[in-house]
Structure 1
Amino acid sequence: MSDETTQTARDARSAFDRADQRRRKQDAVLRVAAQAFNRRGFANTSMDDVAAALGVSKPTLYQYFRSKQEVLYRCHQLAMDHGEAGLALAQAQGGSGFERLATYLDRYMRGIFGDFGTCPVLTDVDSLAPGQRDEVVARRARISAATADLIREGVADGSIVECDPKLATLFALGAVNWIPLWYRETGPNTPDEITRAFLTLLGSGFAKPRP
């Protein structure tokens, strides 16, 4: 390998290393900010609070996010990524409507409990900037519609009790989306225990009893 090729490879690795370092620092900001938003409320949490928790200056924090609204927006995006990943997994694995619904909600919940410990309170949409709010609302509507479709298919194939798909969707997603409001990493139940318990409870309400 020539010296020029070797240097090019080093430069490429360095660029990726810098990008990875920036991503990890952004992840750290999101984790701390999400926890603060959940516990203190978005309006009561300042960028000064997030910077202090991370042990950095506010100007340093602004190198990664331009505003508090952008942090909240990125957190919402992360949560919806998990919801869409759950829907894709459910369709890929197949099964009855109820089985696909359970696969989807399992993946969604585990995502919420995942990399960032917890996503922000998913009901706090009004605090987003107008353009971001419109995007989040539209994306959430698509996830809700896909959830209702799964429930509708489960009713049709007999794996889910007769119900109003829209109300059933509000019930299921309401349970999932409020997890960040009350979940604490120091609490008595692990994410795995909570996920299993929620799926059992949802199943007792959704699944049609077998003869």
Structure 2
Amino acid sequence: MTDTTTRKKQQARAPVASPWADAPARAEQREAKRDAVLSTAAQLFNERGFHATSLDDIAARLHVSKPTLYYYVKNKDEILLQCVRRGLTMTLEGIEASRQAGGKAIDQLQACMRVYARIVTMDFGMCLIRVGDEQVPADSRKELRRLKSSIDQEFRRLVAEGVKEGSVAECDPKMTAFVIAGALSWIGRWYQPGGEYSADEVAEKCIATLLAGVLRHPAPMLVP
């Protein structure tokens, strides 16, 4: 047999697949499946409540067996913790991006309000609002409350800077920040996809009301 014939036969053989060659792909697939578990769980928590949702419910909606879930999560408490943490992280990252964009305090404040209002209409953000952090495992509650406090502090800072630059009326920044965050958070309680307004329209209308107030401002009196 010639060397040329031997080489052709070797080239024709299918290469042996290495079980380690696709490790990054397997890791990505596992993460994608874990994300699907968390997203589905967040949807069910929002629809039924945390206590009324079981691992069987989550598995059924994903069309997998309950034991399959344990490849990606430890238990229902961990699922809730990760859902709430993701909602908080999304909010903080969005607020930070708004701050990095620069501009006047009032511009940054409005951008942060849009971020917050939009996220609470998403699965993880809605879960953050609809499922209280008292339902999160006790050892994680402190961390989540610290993250929530970071959101509050950012709103306070922007309100105070807005007062200083003259774009926001004189007020108690702490109280005003509570009102803003409280009003926008409540969107996550009552918003339903497919309603009269889209999520963006809801956000804009609520923000416009908060910024303008509800009282009609009288026209200025003309001085004769």
Q: TM over 0.5: same fold? A: yes
Which residue pairs with 1:108 in the alignment?
116
Structure 2: gaps of 5 or more residues: 1-15
Classify 1:88/1:62 alpha carbon distance in 2 versus 1 (closer, same or farther; 3 Å). Answer: same
Give 2:40's aligned amino acid.
Answer: V
Return structure 1 stretches of 4+ with deviation > 6 angstroms.
none
Matched residue SS, 1:148: helix
**Alpha-carbon separation, structure 2, partners of 1:198 and 1:113:** 13
- SS of match in other structure, 2:93: helix
Corresponding residue of 2:11: none
Using a 3 Å threshold, how does the CA distance of structure 1 residues 133 and 108 change in structure 2: closer, same or farther? same
The answer to whether the 8 Å contact 2:163/2:170 transfers is yes
Residue number in structure 2 paired with 1:171: 179
Q: Which of 97, 102, 126 in structure 2 is aligned with 1:119? A: 126
* Matching residue of 2:155: 147
User: 5 Å matches for 1:26-175?
Assistant: 26-113=34-121, 116=123, 119-122=126-129, 124-175=132-183
* Distance 1:164-1:192 versus aligned 2 partners, 3 A rule: same
Q: Return the alpha-carbon distance in structure 1 between the equivalents of residues 121 and 211 of structure 2.
A: 20
Deviates more, 1:58-67 or 1:84-93: 84-93
Q: CA deviation at 1:120?
A: 0.3
Deviations 1:161-197 (A, max 9, x none): 1222122112221223233322222323212212222
Taking structure 2 as the reference length, what is the TM-score of the superposition? 0.79
Give the equivalent residue in structure 2 for 1:3. none
- Measured after TM superposition, the shift of residue 38 of structure 1 is 1.5
C-alpha root-mean-square deviation of aligned residues, in Å? 2.7
Residue 112 of structure 1: how far off its partner (Å): 3.9
Structure-2 residue corresponding to 1:198:
206
State the distance in 1 between where 2:52 and 2:196 align: 27
Matched residues in 1 for 2:102 and 2:62: separation? 43
Contact (CA 8 Å) 2:83, 2:128: kept in 1 or not?
A: no
Identity of aligned residues (%): 35
Q: How far off its partner does 1:137 sit?
A: 0.7
Whole-Å separation in 2 of the counterparts to 1:63 and 1:148: 42
Residues 82 and 107, structure 1, Cα contact 8 Å, conserved in 2: no
Once the two structures are TM-superposed, the CA of residue 118 in structure 1 deviates from its matched residue by 5.3
Q: Which amino acid aligns with 1:119?
A: M
Partners of 1:44 and 1:33 lie apart in 2 by 12
Q: Distance in 1 between matches of 2:70 and 2:154?
A: 36
Q: Aligned equivalents of 1:66 and 1:190: distance in 2?
A: 36
CA drift of 1:129 comes to 0.7
Q: Letter of the aligned partner of 1:126 in structure 2?
A: E
Rg comparison, structure with higher value = 2
Larger relative contact order, structure 1 or 2 (CA cutoff 8 Å, min sep 6) = 1
- Give how far 1:104 is off: 1.3
State how far apart, in whole Å, the 1-side matches of 2:31 and 2:201 are.
30
User: What TM-score, normalized to structure 1?
Assistant: 0.83
Distance in 2 of aligned mates of 1:76 and 1:99? 28
